[in-house]
Amino acid sequence: MIQKLLDERKLPALMKMNDGTPVTKENWEARRRELIDVLETMEYGRFPKKCGETTWKVVSAGESSAGKATKSRVEITVPMPDGESFTFPVTVSIPNTATADAPKPAFVYISFAFLWYYPEEELVDNDVTVAEMWMNDVAWDTDEHLEKMAAHFSKDGQRAPDTTGKIGLWAFAASCVLDYLLSLDCVDRNRVGVIGHSRLGKTALWAGANDERFTHVFSNDSGCSGAAITRQKVGEDFPAICRRFPYWFCENMKEISGTVEDSENAPFDQHYLLAAVAPRKLYVASAEKDQWADPVSEYLCCAAASEAWEANGVTGFVHPDRLPEGWDRFADGNVAYHIRPGTHYLSRHDWVRYCDFISG
Ligand code: GTR
């Protein structure tokens, strides 16, 4: 059943190089570069390159979660392509159980608002460190390119056709937060994840696709231009998302988002984005009532991307031959998926399952 549904979507081939050569473990990295290149050119814009060392300063620290953790405010400073630098804050919660002798997992959590809800004490109790980064501290979620990090990537507010959009700036900032986390000897570098919800789920996927130091990548309800297949998607489509949020993407995205037909003729689909995480660990989650994101297209995208893991000799997406429903969770492979009843939200239920996966 699932293969039939996938065939109907008529997706561009994943496991063929641009010149038609079949993809194997040997040329996987070259294929991964091709996937990222088309996503950079047409969708998100060029992923910023580091122009120098990321530095940081702990500006305050204190006990939190009933004394079971330390919470600190850290300023991250990143050299910019115009020779200047840009500084933004993150809030880091480190459980007391995480030590140099017993390093523990950590998340870079890209959030909607400074200290947006997350079950902080529960994460502490699960020995998980969280570095929370607020998107608006990095770049405003608006169509302006003159302020904050965006100012360093535009000229007088104008962007070149493939200059990064805001998703790319937030994703790059997440990668700079990772520089900081990896400097902490209480963080287990084999278990560092990036996580975000909705527009920030798209961002987490793009960060994880580009920065291979992220061992685990989590997309919560990311939908259109995130974890959902674009071809025949229900709910939001490229024209709808680009009318409201053109600045999330590069200017070239306009070429493939005028009509639904344009987007269905694009030389890529979102399984390219998921596959760019292979052979690392990927977790996609949906909410049943979130038809705008389209749970079915998110699930099918995991199934479509799975062959990238298999070509690398590891298990991809292990799932039954049916669509997901209720509280289904399929987490036996390197690509995991769950759905839950309810609406578009990054809930406690989701967090707990992400914790299990990264701790596993
Ligand atoms: C919606 C947008 C979605 C999703 C969501 C969010 O309005 O259409 O693609 O990103 O916002 O970020 O909450």
pLDDT in tens, 72-91: 999 999 999 999 999 999 99
CA dist 58 and 302 (Å) reads 39
Determine contact, residues 344/293, Cβ cutoff 8 Å: yes
> Which phi and psi angles does 113 have, rounded to 5°?
-150, 150
Structural domains in the chain, CATH included, are 2-359 (3.40.50.1820)
CB neighbours of residue 87 within 10 Å? 13
Q: Which H or E element spans position 195? A: strand 187-197
- Rounded CA-CA distance 30/95 in Å is 39
pLDDT of residue 88: 98
Mean pLDDT of 34-47: 98
Strands 55-64 and 69-79, by their bridges, are antiparallel
Residue 316 in contact with ligand 1 by CB distance below 6 A = no
When pLDDT is averaged across residues 223-243 and rounded to a whole number, the result is 98
Ligand 1 centre to CA of 202 (Å) is 10
How far apart (Å, rounded) are the C-alpha atoms in residues 37 and 17? 12
Q: Is 198 in the pocket of ligand 1 (CB under 6 A)?
A: yes
Ligand 1 centroid from CA 9, angstroms: 23
105 lines ligand 1 (CB under 6 A): no
Task: Point out the ligand 1 atom lying closest to the alpha carbon of residue 202.
Answer: 10
Residue 200 CA: nearest ligand 1 atom is 12
Q: Tell me which residue of 176, 45, 195 sits closest to 106, measured CA to CA.
A: 195
CA of 114 to the centre of ligand 1 (A): 18
pLDDT tens across 297-342, in order?
A: 999 999 999 999 999 999 999 999 999 999 999 999 999 999 999 9
* Residue from 241, 289, 291 to probe ligand 1 pocket by mutation (most atoms less than 8 Å from CB): 241
Separation CA 342–CA 5 (nearest Å): 25
Compute the average pLDDT of residues 62-81: 98
Task: Reply yes or no on whether the pLDDT at 122 is more than 90.
Answer: yes
Is the pLDDT at 151 greater than 90? The verdict is: yes
- Decide: pTM greater than 0.85: yes
Q: What is the SS3 assignment for 137?
A: helix
DSSP 216: E
Ligand 1, atom nearest to 244 Cα:
8
Rounded to the nearest whole angstrom, what is the distance from the C-alpha of residue 153 to the centroid of ligand 1? 24
Distances (CA, A) of 132 to 3, 98, 110, 182, 253: 38, 17, 6, 15, 29
3-state secondary structure of 55: strand
Q: Tell me if 224 CB under 6 Å of ligand 1.
A: yes
Distance CA 76, CA 92 (A): 12
* Residue-level pLDDT at 115: 65
* Span 152-166, pLDDT tens digits: 999 999 999 999 999
Q: Which atom of ligand 1 is nearest to the CA of 226?
A: 9
Answer whether residue 344 shows pLDDT above 90.
Answer: yes
Q: What is the pLDDT of residue 117?
A: 86
